[in-house]
Structure 1
Amino acid sequence: MADLKADFEQAQEDVQKLSSRPSNDDLLALYAHYKQATVGDVEGKRPGFTDLKGRAKYDAWAKLAGTKADTAMRGYIEKVNSLLDADS
């Protein structure tokens, strides 16, 4: 788990090095995996229909409900690596 945590932290740094902004879908996937890995299952009320960004983030995170932290970390790392590969 220590290696996974180190890889997760490295991926957080690496994603900042992308030369272009990822798509909204990719950003939502990164957000959801990060939150699931660091916080756990989403809590609270789903944002209202006027908060489109908040609602999209909530929905993306909610899709990962029940996912273990280590699995979410791996998902985040894989997404960052695929973005880095596409960026080079």
Structure 2
Amino acid sequence: MAVTKTPEFEAAVLASKKLLAKPSDDELLELYALFKQATQEPSFEEAPKPGTFDFKGKYKYNAWKKVVDDEVSPEDAQKHYVELIEKLKAKYGYDENKEPEQVGTS
């Protein structure tokens, strides 16, 4: 099921990569969970469960599960994500011209 992403959500996703400092682990987990719920790629029911020793994966999965259990719709998750990014921009600073960091490259 494809979810239509709002322009505000798309802008917030880009803005998340231009914060001047890294958010806390709890804030990152909340961003992750809201993003996953907002995009539904894949849906929670189709997502693979993390392995026994994948502790990082379990934290992420459980954060997403909490959003699902709270019955947050994809549309509401997008709104919450945008609101959270605005708070993080105020807390950590934001630079529109910052080049997003490459993740997962060596």
Question: Would you say same fold, with TM above 0.5?
Answer: yes
The number of equivalent residue pairs is 86
The runs of 4+ residues in structure 1 deviating greater than 6 Å are none
Give the structure 2 partner of residue 62 of structure 1.
65
More helix, by proportion: 1
Measured in 2, the distance between the counterparts of 1:42 and 1:50 equals 20
- Aligned 8 A contact 2:33 2:67 in 1: yes
- Aligned 8 A contact 1:41 1:64 in 2: no
Instruction: Give the partner amino acid of 1:78.
Output: E
Q: Which runs of 5+ in 2 are unaligned?
A: 94-106
Determine what percentage of the aligned residue pairs are the same residue: 37
Higher Rg of the two aligned structures: 2
TM-score normalised by length of structure 1: 0.86
TM-score normalised by length of structure 2: 0.72
CA RMSD of aligned residues (A): 1.9
What is the Cα deviation at residue 47 of structure 1? Answer: 2.1
